[in-house]
Amino acid sequence: MASEKTFYLETFGCQMNAHDSEKVIGTLLQQGYRQVESEEDAGLILYNTCSVRDKAEQRVYNRLNDHKYAHRAGKRFGVLGCVAQQEGERIFERAPFVSLVSGSASYRKLPEMLARLEAGEKHITGLDDQQTDQTFETEFAARLSPYRGYITIIEGCDKFCSYCVVPYTRGKERSRSSSSVLDEARRIAELGFTEIQLLGQNVNSYRDPEGKCSFAELLTAVGELPGIRRVRFTTSHPRDFTRDIVEAIDRVPTLCDHVHLPVQSGSARVLEAMAREYTPEWYLEQIGWIKAARRHISLTTDIIVGFPGEGETDFYQTLDLLDKVQFDGVFAFKYSARPNTPALTMADSVPEEEKSRRLQVLLERQREIQRANYSKQIGEVLEVMVEGTNPARGQIAGRSSQNKPVNFTWPQPIAPAPGTYISVKITKAYPNSLVGEAV
């Protein structure tokens, strides 16, 4: 037992990171490690990090600080993901007890890096900035959900929005071949997965290296695989959002009626400074296609408040855009200055208190929009995929195809298993969730 290899892994950041962690866990298990639930029980402690905002980045340093004496007891530490790629060897200066620093493009070398770690090497790095199709191989992915499978179809980002670290932490954009995507989708469908989420920082700028299909055609092909009941995709970029995506959703029932389309701002001036390369009008035209669809497609977005130079008028234009679109969900963030990005040098910074005020105003306005939107669904019967139970309320918890949380009562003593699909009649609505009863 003394030689047993154990690891603890904690994940921060987006779904791409969550799925990378599944691959890392799978690789470690394959290398004879056992996963444990706490830092205390682990010989190897790994953090898969995010650096999209300063707060996210600080979180990993806080975590390392909390456990900094543990290395004296022989525990080893590894920093993976976007902070690792961004900071590289600087992490060893700040936290000398860290032994492994690896970005996502180097995970295929993990077995070799682990062997060096076990041999006692102090500082190991994996900081490749190029990826090949190989890195997408998920032969060893330890899928955390038995019914929802993630598949990365495109990595990296070439958009270089002026505020964003992702192009620096995830490298150049590269798509995976459609046949490789379909093989994996088919494989996991055969294992009983019914929901597939296609992932990418800009999932819809997908270009099949084999030239066989467009993004909309890939969506359709995945949606038509036997056994698949739900297909989601995230995140879409307005620059690459084409009408055939809406047409595919309208045509293929397994494609979920939800589009997450981050707009960031409703001000043309701010969008230009952000280098988003579209105008509010362009964005609203796409929203128009989505709203004109036969199916009622739910819309969600991301907003940044307090970008350098954002004035009161710009902010009002963002509020105005929220009123026009009537999103079902908004992820709003205060602008955070990030290393290497062009926005770092922009003048006219918005004071922190003003950013907080704008965020509050925006979230309150959006809450009212959602209150109205969600309450329109009272009386509807929705198909809900069960995710678990809420024992406190005696309810079953799940999600609709639109990705809305639905809590519902269940007449029988034995709760339906996670991953099953139940028809639920909506009886009550909150701004962020629906309540109903199984029918």
166 binds ligand F3S (CB under 6 A): yes
Phi-psi sector, 263: left (phi>0), alpha (psi -120 to 50), beta: alpha
- List binders of ligand SAH among 164-183 (CB under 6 A): 164, 166
- List binders of ligand SF4 among 220-239 (CB under 6 A): 237
- List binders of ligand SF4 among 148-187 (CB under 6 A): 157, 159-161, 164, 166-167
- Cβ closer to ligand SAH: 333 or 421? 333
Structure tokens at 332: 């709003």
Judged by beta carbon distances under 5 to 8 A according to partner kind, the member of ligand F3S, ligand SAH, ligand SF4, none in contact with residue 160 is ligand SF4
200 binds ligand F3S (CB under 6 A): no
Residues 6 or more apart from 248 whose CB is under 8 A from it?
Answer: 216, 217, 219, 220, 223, 255
Structure tokens at 280: 């509010």
Judged by beta carbon distances under 5 to 8 A according to partner kind, the member of ligand SAH, ligand SF4, ligand F3S, none in contact with residue 308 is none
Helices assigned H by DSSP within 31-124: 54-66, 82-87, 90-94, 110-118
- List binders of ligand SAH among 44-63 (CB under 6 A): 52-53
Q: Are 174 and 155 in contact (CB under 8 A)?
A: yes
82 binds ligand F3S (CB under 6 A): yes
Question: Whose structure tokens read 């952000």?
Answer: 274
- Cβ closer to ligand SAH: 6 or 279? 279
Judged by beta carbon distances under 5 to 8 A according to partner kind, the member of ligand SF4, ligand F3S, ligand SAH, none in contact with residue 336 is ligand SAH
Question: Position 322: which residue type?
Answer: L
Judged by beta carbon distances under 5 to 8 A according to partner kind, the member of ligand SF4, ligand SAH, ligand F3S, none in contact with residue 167 is ligand SF4
262 binds ligand SAH (CB under 6 A): yes
Site string for ligand SAH, 200-219 (x = CB under 6 A): -xx-----------------
Among 264, 267, 373, 395, binds ligand SAH (CB under 6 A): 264
Site string for ligand SAH, 368-407 (x = CB under 6 A): ----------------------------------------
Q: Strands, E, within 156-235: which ranges?
A: 174-175, 195-199, 230-234
Of 189, 164, 201, 173, the C-alpha closest to 51 is: 164
Find residue 45's DSSP bridge partners: 8, 77
Question: Whose structure tokens read 């995709």?
Answer: 233
Which burial class, exposed, middle or buried, applies to 364 when counting CB atoms under 10 A from its CB (0-12, 13-18, 19+)? exposed
- Cβ closer to ligand F3S: 138 or 234? 234
Find residue 78's DSSP bridge partners: 46, 100
Angle value at C-alpha 246, between 241 and 251, nearest 5 degrees: 150
C-alpha of 140 from chain center:
21
- Cβ closer to ligand SAH: 244 or 302? 302
Q: How far apart are CA 45 and CA 42, in angstroms?
A: 6
197 binds ligand F3S (CB under 6 A): no
The residues that touch ligand F3S, with contacts defined as CB under 6 A, are 13-14, 16-17, 50-52, 81-82, 165-166, 169-170
The residues that touch ligand SF4, with contacts defined as CB under 6 A, are 157, 159-161, 164, 166-167, 201-202, 237
